[in-house]
Structure 1
């Protein structure tokens, strides 16, 4: 995607400045096209028919009434749908295999694996006709016994197996024995429910075939992996698949994987010979796109009377679907945040006959920090130590579990700055001791934490004789300001004005980028972009020597050499080049894993007001201070951190997907019944960051996309306890739990 950058004040470095997003005008004026808005000739529309059982087999399907609706082009079922290749098995050596939403061969099987699985697709000239006809398809099933009740099946959970990507557990010393011997001990149980992403833009795909060449417009967070997956499923070369995704209306992890709607849009287009658009309803998103797993967690802490930890135990149970999904790193932060003498963490899994779970903003740490930080707060009350002071007494100098050095860790500084900005010194420690009229007032804190990751990226940079710079990389723009940040980086690296840089992104024809997930996209691309800029400057130096223009400006060098432009590339998208890049990445990943512990962290400060008669909770103030390394764009970084905090407030006080424990059906698949925060629920959010570079990361940046949500639910739970004296162990914190 190409966007002309707006003129800005020049002079001096632009990295770190609060520059407006380059796509802001297009989005606010409606000029930006999303995946369900591309006008294609002879476009047809598709609607899904969902299964109504959680496990079974289709014995009959009646489509006559649907086919008779005026405008219906086709009704596709397992009886007449084109064949698909099976989904690949997950392999850590081929990260694109991680993108499969499920292992089901959609419409190529009569088997049903979850309530909501698509069992038919209706294609019609209009969306209204397609949806009307979909409601007329009737399906008869032979039902099989199913397992859908997470709470009932928790006792059957098995230890999660460790992989190179995610360990299932870790230990240091004998934590259970240390807990039993500790002068102060607590052993607590927490639960969190299923969550769904609810991005502003529901999932939608527009697909068109030209012979054996496929073009899809899709709101994906993983352009390259989607292209690879579609090529495999439809049996065509990857070069024959083009994925276009210049704008994504929010993802939060829900658009990383390839879900049924995308596959079936392409399937319907191939079957009908027409371009097909399949835009999911909000309910359709719940039925066919995975959400966050529920969890149960045990946190047990042993300490001396001074609050210094002698034992830290954190275990979890989460679920996957029998047809897909993966574990969440719920105990991740508990290996790194506190200097306990003995540590035990273990994650456990149970398989259910439900749609696969998937990543959701800060998967694992967002719910894991809730349980850990509420437990640390409880320990502070037990030993009579201020919650911040207790954390500082247990702040480690090296990674607690294995002694590795921290690449960057300024949590003490974050707490000190946050406490001053928040006015923590004004807090009286006794629960229920602070009031404002009839409202009970509470203050709580919690630590934020998210690991820092990096993947290979391919980038090209072109410098033209007119002084303009073109950066090309197929990365993703979901609203975080990725194109703006990379333009800032290129401008400083090449010594040109910001407005001279143009960025192309969001298309699989561009050099390959990693997906937008794990807070790694900016660092991954920046690493390659900086290398490409250095390579380009060396090319200019060589050209200058040949043309006798040494010491002159780049534009003069090109003009004297009679060359319109010079270009440099980092990374190769050939098959051999990608394998070589993957091996290089894996080697660096292993080296870094052995040497450093890399992560963003921060301090969350929350004030709540609780109505003692109704149990209503209002978040009245928020301060968050973060150690996220160097900040590339002050405005977009603050926006990302605020967005994470807002999402965390929703997780703490409102969000809960209700699953019928008898049938596995989601009972509240809409924004009318799944409650997310609105403007009236959110106070002014004061966000700060230390802006101190991590020397082991490109430009010193760490990543800001996900750390903002971590610790939020813990801070709110702790503030509620301070206000009321009640410790809430089960999210969300609703008024019935406080009465």
Structure 2
């Protein structure tokens, strides 16, 4: 097979199924795990740079307007203060993912409450904090012109709505119809590590230690923000303590630290507080959704409509893609899919934990449950009955789809056949017990990536790329691919990540990292194998490598080191071709959930949850399972606890820390079961793998909501489903069981 950078032709060779080392797919530990457990993995704020000064950002005290004066003199006289900065180059908004250019700059304009408008730098963090609190700023307050709540009145027309057939007629003629309104609140990424940066200049060259997800884009964004050539910017992010979309683009702390460091001629560290991260870094938009479904007596969908209203700041192109999975998941030839955006004065909306499907599918899966009840069909069967042969309205075929297998495997493991279809049918003491199901689906993307692989003369393997590891297992997975391809034990394999001077990986975002950068490493290994095959005297496909030895059929094994006189280095590249347009590539799964709802208080407890997922080749069973578990936990949070709360009077975020923004904690989560459905999807990537990182959240909240209904008979359509919302609708707790 002729190799090219552009992936236009499915790779059906199953190369990783014919190699001999036996490490691919195994649940191997993360090589950096001991460093993280011991506290010796260095994160962005932890580098000891000689003479490093400390910076603290100052947020605007108005909702909208302009800065007219900054009274620097008073704080410059305070102990240890080195400078007060407010520049037209400082960011007033964070960059969206893959922007590759500066976002909105000039902090003299205030776009939203608590937007950073200044940086105070001092010898110590405590001195900088005290001065930041004391800094007095004058404003031209234009908050009266702000709009803080999304509204249909000022919403833009939907971009590229999907329309097919005659929806109204199909709904009129349908045997069963669901027409339901849903709301979901905004969400925060809530990564464990806050946004942080240390900037240091050496002449014209800037080095930034940052907590960032996509370094090749981040270098371009930082350089553009500063007005310098990208060749003078180096970013180091070897360890990132979570991102979930919030660190896809460059943000306030990085540019502010770079400008202050340049002026002072010494390193400057800027670490955002938890409150500042919540107040000024990407939020997920709240949504208002209307879903209309119509089916015949047999439960087959004839009408499918999914409309949503979302919000963002004026001038931002990003709209939460609520209907993304609705485009391809279920049948219904008469269709309408549309998302409208309302401009409001809140912090920037952007990518947060599976944008689109995470909130769109939780509503869709509740609507499907309602339709199943109306039609008198088991909810699992209804979903299986409505899987189209091709993407509705397009005719695009599917590359692979393991949804039926996921529903069947999950149902069997969970014991779905023991469920009663009648709400309030099972009670244990104070608790109503219920079961719910939902499908999982997430678009799959192959992204442009490069990786350099070296087989050293002494038989070690080194993988190098600027790809980041945000806790997802990149160090492990990339090492496994290279070790498998080159037949070396995993303990002779080293992976170097998070340095922008290395070849540009895909970055961690959109669930495309492992399959994309992994494919680039795969390509580099193929080139090394071709060279070794020449030395052995066979074709590359016939070359056998295992435990540091090379041979072919009829040729005696030899140590690979005998074939090398020097290090052998190759760079692999991959970029998407037209396969993504020709074939719908997505990942699928299913959730099954058991909840207990307190008959007196409305408290919901998750008792058990099963997820079954198909996402192409499993590269590392342990890290993949961890990703699925994490997604399921986020889904539980979306269903029961998580909601950004904004003051409607001035738009400020009320619950701006982890004390008031309630993510699920250990006590909320029981042991959960994850089933990995192995498959091969040659359309998706040369390694036949697809993304898994975000699949586990997509639809999970819908399974929880459906289980709540099955438990107590209360059908809520506003998330999160907190006890106060349930309490008013609960059945009489003293009534006899049905």
1:515 is aligned to 2:507: yes
CA deviation digits over 1:486-526, x for unaligned, max 9? Answer: 11111111122222211111100111112211100111112
Q: How many residues align?
A: 694
1:526 is aligned to 2:518: yes
Partner Cα separation in structure 1 for residue 697 and residue 718 of structure 2: 18
- Cα offset, 1:352, TM superposition: 1.5
Partner Cα separation in structure 2 for residue 593 and residue 214 of structure 1: 37
Task: Give 2:128's aligned residue.
Answer: 130
Say which of 607, 615, 639 aligns to 2:602: 615
Say which of 329, 332, 345 aligns to 1:340: 332
Partner Cα separation in structure 2 for residue 738 and residue 657 of structure 1: 19
Partner Cα separation in structure 2 for residue 113 and residue 350 of structure 1: 15
Say which of 69, 72, 77 aligns to 2:78: 69
1:51 is aligned to 2:53: no
Task: Give 1:701's aligned residue.
Answer: 689
Say which of 370, 390, 407 aligns to 2:382: 390
Partner Cα separation in structure 1 for residue 709 and residue 156 of structure 2: 33
* Residues 12/541 of structure 1: CA separation in 2 closer, same or farther (3 Å cut): closer
Task: Give 1:652's aligned residue.
Answer: 639
* Residues 555/240 of structure 1: CA separation in 2 closer, same or farther (3 Å cut): farther
Partner Cα separation in structure 1 for residue 35 and residue 686 of structure 2: 30
Asked if structure 1 preserves the Cα contact closer than 8 Å seen for 2:180 and 2:290, the reply is yes
Asked if structure 2 preserves the Cα contact closer than 8 Å seen for 1:457 and 1:525, the reply is yes
* Residues 448/89 of structure 1: CA separation in 2 closer, same or farther (3 Å cut): closer
Asked if structure 1 preserves the Cα contact closer than 8 Å seen for 2:635 and 2:700, the reply is yes
Partner Cα separation in structure 2 for residue 146 and residue 221 of structure 1: 36
* Residues 59/616 of structure 1: CA separation in 2 closer, same or farther (3 Å cut): same
* Residues 86/429 of structure 1: CA separation in 2 closer, same or farther (3 Å cut): closer
Asked if structure 2 preserves the Cα contact closer than 8 Å seen for 1:261 and 1:288, the reply is no
Asked if structure 2 preserves the Cα contact closer than 8 Å seen for 1:87 and 1:233, the reply is no
Partner Cα separation in structure 1 for residue 158 and residue 278 of structure 2: 26
Moved more, 526-535 or 622-631: 526-535
Say which of 31, 43, 60 aligns to 1:22: 31
Taking structure 2 as the reference length, the TM-score comes to 0.91
What SS does the corresponding residue of 2:284 show, helix, strand or coil? coil
Task: Give 1:452's aligned residue.
Answer: 444
Partner Cα separation in structure 2 for residue 694 and residue 625 of structure 1: 17
* Residues 392/96 of structure 1: CA separation in 2 closer, same or farther (3 Å cut): closer
What SS does the corresponding residue of 1:36 show, helix, strand or coil? helix
Partner Cα separation in structure 1 for residue 702 and residue 146 of structure 2: 31
* Residues 87/387 of structure 1: CA separation in 2 closer, same or farther (3 Å cut): closer
Say which of 139, 142, 147 aligns to 1:141: 139
- Cα offset, 1:306, TM superposition: 2.4
Partner Cα separation in structure 1 for residue 93 and residue 154 of structure 2: 28
Say which of 256, 279, 292 aligns to 1:287: 279
> Aligned runs of 1:423-462 on 2, under 5 Å?
423-462=415-454
Task: Give 2:546's aligned residue.
Answer: none
Partner Cα separation in structure 2 for residue 366 and residue 322 of structure 1: 24
> Aligned runs of 1:635-650 on 2, under 5 Å?
635-650=622-637
CA deviation digits over 1:216-271, x for unaligned, max 9? Answer: 01010011111111112222221211100000000011110211121111111112
Task: Give 1:717's aligned residue.
Answer: 705
Task: Give 1:576's aligned residue.
Answer: none
Task: Give 2:41's aligned residue.
Answer: 32
CA deviation digits over 1:150-196, x for unaligned, max 9? Answer: 34x233212232xxxxxx42122122221122222121111111111
Task: Give 1:120's aligned residue.
Answer: 118
Asked if structure 2 preserves the Cα contact closer than 8 Å seen for 1:66 and 1:137, the reply is yes
Partner Cα separation in structure 2 for residue 465 and residue 84 of structure 1: 48
* Residues 89/630 of structure 1: CA separation in 2 closer, same or farther (3 Å cut): closer
CA deviation digits over 1:506-554, x for unaligned, max 9? Answer: 10011111221110011111221121111112222345569xx996789
Task: Give 2:304's aligned residue.
Answer: 312
CA deviation digits over 1:573-627, x for unaligned, max 9? Answer: xxxxxxxx8xxx46x1xx2233211000100001110011111011111000011
Asked if structure 1 preserves the Cα contact closer than 8 Å seen for 2:94 and 2:249, the reply is no
CA deviation digits over 1:402-441, x for unaligned, max 9? Answer: 1211101011111111001101111111111111222001
Task: Give 1:403's aligned residue.
Answer: 395
* Residues 251/84 of structure 1: CA separation in 2 closer, same or farther (3 Å cut): closer
Asked if structure 2 preserves the Cα contact closer than 8 Å seen for 1:50 and 1:117, the reply is yes
Asked if structure 1 preserves the Cα contact closer than 8 Å seen for 2:310 and 2:340, the reply is yes
* Residues 37/86 of structure 1: CA separation in 2 closer, same or farther (3 Å cut): closer
- Cα offset, 1:341, TM superposition: 2.5
Asked if structure 1 preserves the Cα contact closer than 8 Å seen for 2:92 and 2:117, the reply is no
- Cα offset, 1:209, TM superposition: 1.0
1:599 is aligned to 2:586: yes
Moved more, 392-401 or 417-426: 392-401
Asked if structure 1 preserves the Cα contact closer than 8 Å seen for 2:434 and 2:707, the reply is yes
* Residues 414/88 of structure 1: CA separation in 2 closer, same or farther (3 Å cut): closer
What SS does the corresponding residue of 2:145 show, helix, strand or coil? coil
Task: Give 1:577's aligned residue.
Answer: none
Asked if structure 1 preserves the Cα contact closer than 8 Å seen for 2:95 and 2:251, the reply is no
Say which of 649, 652, 656 aligns to 1:669: 656
Asked if structure 2 preserves the Cα contact closer than 8 Å seen for 1:648 and 1:709, the reply is yes
> Aligned runs of 1:232-251 on 2, under 5 Å?
232-251=224-243
Moved more, 215-224 or 302-311: 302-311
Task: Give 2:615's aligned residue.
Answer: 628
Task: Give 2:104's aligned residue.
Answer: 103
Say which of 156, 159, 177 aligns to 2:157: 159
* Residues 328/180 of structure 1: CA separation in 2 closer, same or farther (3 Å cut): same
Partner Cα separation in structure 2 for residue 553 and residue 519 of structure 1: 42
What SS does the corresponding residue of 1:601 show, helix, strand or coil? strand
Asked if structure 2 preserves the Cα contact closer than 8 Å seen for 1:103 and 1:324, the reply is no
- Cα offset, 1:59, TM superposition: 2.5
* Residues 226/413 of structure 1: CA separation in 2 closer, same or farther (3 Å cut): same
What SS does the corresponding residue of 2:46 show, helix, strand or coil? coil
* Residues 272/695 of structure 1: CA separation in 2 closer, same or farther (3 Å cut): same
Partner Cα separation in structure 2 for residue 13 and residue 311 of structure 1: 48
Partner Cα separation in structure 2 for residue 85 and residue 723 of structure 1: 49
Asked if structure 1 preserves the Cα contact closer than 8 Å seen for 2:90 and 2:252, the reply is no
Asked if structure 1 preserves the Cα contact closer than 8 Å seen for 2:94 and 2:348, the reply is no
> Aligned runs of 1:173-192 on 2, under 5 Å?
173-192=165-184
Taking structure 1 as the reference length, the TM-score comes to 0.90
Asked if structure 2 preserves the Cα contact closer than 8 Å seen for 1:322 and 1:356, the reply is no
Give the superposed CA RMSD.
Answer: 2.2
* Residues 412/216 of structure 1: CA separation in 2 closer, same or farther (3 Å cut): same
Partner Cα separation in structure 1 for residue 700 and residue 278 of structure 2: 25
* Residues 614/96 of structure 1: CA separation in 2 closer, same or farther (3 Å cut): closer
Partner Cα separation in structure 2 for residue 545 and residue 553 of structure 1: 12
- Cα offset, 1:698, TM superposition: 2.6
Partner Cα separation in structure 2 for residue 555 and residue 86 of structure 1: 61
Partner Cα separation in structure 2 for residue 407 and residue 175 of structure 1: 28
Asked if structure 2 preserves the Cα contact closer than 8 Å seen for 1:467 and 1:555, the reply is no
* Residues 560/256 of structure 1: CA separation in 2 closer, same or farther (3 Å cut): closer
- Cα offset, 1:465, TM superposition: 2.2
* Residues 293/476 of structure 1: CA separation in 2 closer, same or farther (3 Å cut): same
Partner Cα separation in structure 2 for residue 148 and residue 555 of structure 1: 72
Task: Give 2:675's aligned residue.
Answer: 688
- Structure 1, unpaired ranges of 5+: 1-9, 162-167, 572-580
1:256 is aligned to 2:256: no
